[in-house]
Amino acid sequence: MLDRPTHIPGKRSLILLDDPALNAETPAPLLDTALTPNELFFLRNNGTVPEEVPGDWMLNVEGAVRRPLRLTVDQLRTGFPVHEVVAVLECAGNGRATFTPPTDGLAWGPGAVGCARWRGVRMADVLRAAGLLPGALYIAHESPDHAIGKPDRPALSRGIPLDKALAPETLLAFEMNGEPLPRLHGAPLRVVVPGYPGSAWQKWLNRLWVRDCEHDGAKMTGTDYRMPTRPYAPGEAMDPADFRVITDMPVKSLITHHARQGDQVALRGFAWSGHVPVASVVVSGDGGASWAPAVLEPGEGPWAWRRFRGLVPLGGTLMARATDSQGNSQPMAPPWNPRGYLNNAVVAVGI
């Protein structure tokens, strides 16, 4: 079952979601490695996938800058120091399928997440080369992909606040896991913004637009990739004024392997979070009635996920529950919200 062929070139074993755009997630057992191989990495597209990289591709840096720039990937690679970050990329809608009542949006299981080694140049270095003007507040990302059936409408144009754009972990990446960035993951250049939801990781980036206000591009306004600032009841009419851009990801964990060991079960998986580090993981073999501490291994840097391992008595439902350094633990029930984002509930694994 896991060796499911797909029609997506360079991809194997992904679960395709039902959508006119190309969206596919990774089965949890295939996320059992510290770095998710490119061919197993989930795909999220809000619109079309550009067929090929045009030969005259350039990155434009414009807006509130002293010197607008036009740079090829070679100029980026040779003109700026190259850096790497190992970081988790997770869609804000990951796990949406388990919200009740269901919400609009792709019904992701738990596999719209992966961890990769990203290599590129710092967004900060490129912005500084362009010379930020005093009013600079927000960096907008643009690319050539468009909404399905609407060639004049961008698929997605999101952005990040200036402080995150200048943070050392925020890259313009041209390599993924030691290979040239695959076309499906944004070649020739994508934004890497650890700690932020995947939607901020713009693919096929061809323009950075430095703005003096929060960006209002495609899927950046209304309730898209935004969370309500107050509880909403299912069915209640949504007022966009109540919604704020998602700028952080919650603490989370996923069991990726389990095996019987005598009268116990050895299980392992990964724990991750956004800007607040993971502090501990506990595991259960009886559906959450009792918990035992798991061993939590260091990750490769602060933005990578961390391996946990635990041993629980054989017999019941397996669970893992992570807590971050501010004491936030994964909830037992999915934290329902009207657009179905940030589901970090404990996942139950039956054996």
Ligand X SMILES: Nc1nc2c(c(=O)[nH]1)N[C@H]1C(S)=C(S)[C@@H](COP(=O)(O)O)O[C@H]1N2
Q: Which residue is nearest to ligand X (CB)?
A: 198
Q: Given the rule CB under 6 A, which of 42-50, 58-66, 97-105, 276-284 is the region that contacts ligand X?
A: 42-50
DSSP state of 117: E
Q: Is 155 in the site for ligand X (CB under 6 A)?
A: yes
CA distance 172 to 158: 15
CA distance 169 to 335: 29
Q: Is 146 in the site for ligand X (CB under 6 A)?
A: no
Q: Given the rule CB under 5 A, which of 31-39, 89-97, 98-106, 241-249 is the region that contacts Mo ion?
A: 89-97
Contacts with ligand X by CB under 6 A: the residue count is 20
Site for ligand X in 161-200 (CB under 6 A): 185, 198-199
Site for ligand X in 222-281 (CB under 6 A): none
Q: Tell me, rounded to whole angstroms, the distance of Cα 45 from its chain centroid.
A: 12
Please check whether residue 123 is in contact with residue 174, taking contact to mean a CB–CB distance below 8 angstroms.
no
Q: Is 198 in the site for Mo ion (CB under 5 A)?
A: yes
43 binds, among Mo ion, ligand X, none (CB under 5 to 8 A by kind): ligand X
Pick the binder of ligand X from 11, 44, 252, 258 (CB under 6 A): 44
Report which residue type is found at 164. Answer: K
- Looking at the Cβ atoms of 40 and 266, the one nearer to ligand X is 40
Handedness of CA 314, 316, 317, 321 (dihedral sign): negative
> Across the chain, how many H-helices and E-strands are there?
3, 23
- Looking at the Cβ atoms of 182 and 288, the one nearer to ligand X is 182
Give the Cβ contact number of residue 105 at 10 Å: 17
State the minimum distance, in angstroms, from the CB of residue 138 to Mo ion: 19
CA distance 274 to 251: 7
Binding-site ranges for ligand X (CB under 6 A): 41-47, 89, 91, 143, 145, 155-156, 185, 198-199, 201-204
